[in-house]
Amino acid sequence: MSEKKSMPDYSDLEFKAGSDVHVWDGVIYPWFVHAKTLDAMADFKVRTDDVYVVSFPKSGTTWTQEIVSLIKNNGEPDNTIKNKHVEERVPHLEMSTAVPGTILYPRIAAMPEDKPRLIKSHLSYQHMPKDFLVKKPKIVYIARNYKDVSVSGYSFLRMYKAFDIGSWKEFCEGILMREMTPYGPWAAHVLGWWQHRHDDNVLFLKYEDLKKDLRGGIVRIADFLGKDLSDDAITKTVEHCSFETMKKNPMTNFTGLDAFDHKVAPFMRKVLQLAGGTGDWKNWFTVAQNETMTKLIDERLYGTGLVFDYDP
């Protein structure tokens, strides 16, 4: 049996650079985002009609990817949707490990005639491809409260067969509270995009709102993308993108991914036994951890106008 690697010690980043995590332009990146890929963002050709789904990891990215994919297909979950994984329909811009040695995700190069191209990214505003500021493609940004993001992220990393992520206490206090997360601090990420929420090409959404009113969220996204969907098409999109349907769907639930031990935790968790996907953090945070986290979030978001729901 191969030995599990411990998670990197983030306090020692200079010495870990180039291994499991690395720092690029002051931001911590995970092993699957290579520095060369990030360098290549300077030359990546954005198209005006591209649509990007952007988020801090674990914020509802896959959900939003599936929604934009369905909207593009007029709400029709036909064979192009049923037989193609969401990560192929809406590929991850900066994912560097799909084919070792390639700089940009080959799936993006493989979709030249696909209009609009639908692309996923976890990049912060300032690390988006340079051409993005010129072409101003549409961006659907999805944000989720840091406490549920934290728990979702911990569960996700626990699934990796190759890593021993350690205890919740270690992860929460050593990484989350110190804001040493891959893709940079959560607050910097969401606030970087929040500052651009009034830009014509940016739609800023929250996971918690989508959970409360999926139909309303889908209508907002369709309007933003300039898609005039019939009521029937919206209803089909709602059904297809519900938690229950996506959890059963191998094209969205990542059950096919060998790198994960799906017995440890499914990609789409039990959350769902709660009224929504909000509030599972209460099952993980101790009273003291919650106090520290609340203080941290309050300090970071103070005066920005950005607030989150923490209850289902």
Residues at the contact surface with ligand PPS, assessed by CB under 6 A: 55, 57-63, 148, 152, 155-156, 211, 241-243, 246, 268-269, 271, 277, 280
Query: At its nearest, how many Å lie between ligand PPS and the CB of residue 153?
Result: 8
Closest CA to 90 of 117, 114, 63: 117
Q: CB neighbours of 312 closer than 8 A, spacing ≥ 6?
A: 274, 275, 276, 278, 279
- Cβ-based nearer residue to ligand PPS, 37 or 62: 62
Residue from 92, 122, 127, 189 carrying the catalytic annotation: 122
Closest CA to 177 of 281, 279, 291: 291
Phi, psi for residue 53 in degrees, rounded to 5:
-105, 115
Query: At its nearest, how many Å lie between ligand PPS and the CB of residue 278?
Result: 9
- Cβ-based nearer residue to ligand PPS, 43 or 213: 213
Query: At its nearest, how many Å lie between ligand PPS and the CB of residue 311?
Result: 14
Kindly state the tokens that stand for 283. 């099952």
**Kind and range of the H or E element at 246?**
helix 243-248
Query: At its nearest, how many Å lie between ligand PPS and the CB of residue 254?
Result: 8
Q: What is the DSSP string of 131-167?
A: HHHHH--EEEEEE--HHHHHHHHHHHHHHBTTEE---
85 catalytic residue (yes or no): no
Query: At its nearest, how many Å lie between ligand PPS and the CB of residue 283?
Result: 11
- Cβ-based nearer residue to ligand PPS, 190 or 271: 271
Alpha helices by DSSP H, 55-206 = 61-72, 79-82, 86-89, 106-109, 131-135, 146-159, 168-171, 186-194
Note whether 86 and 116 are within 8 A (CB): no
Task: State CA 227 to chain mean position distance.
Answer: 23
- Cβ-based nearer residue to ligand PPS, 257 or 307: 257
- Cβ-based nearer residue to ligand PPS, 62 or 237: 62
**Kind and range of the H or E element at 6?**
strand 5-6
Q: Is 93 buried (19+), middle (13-18) or exposed (0-12) by CB count in 10 A?
A: buried
Residues annotated as catalytic are 122
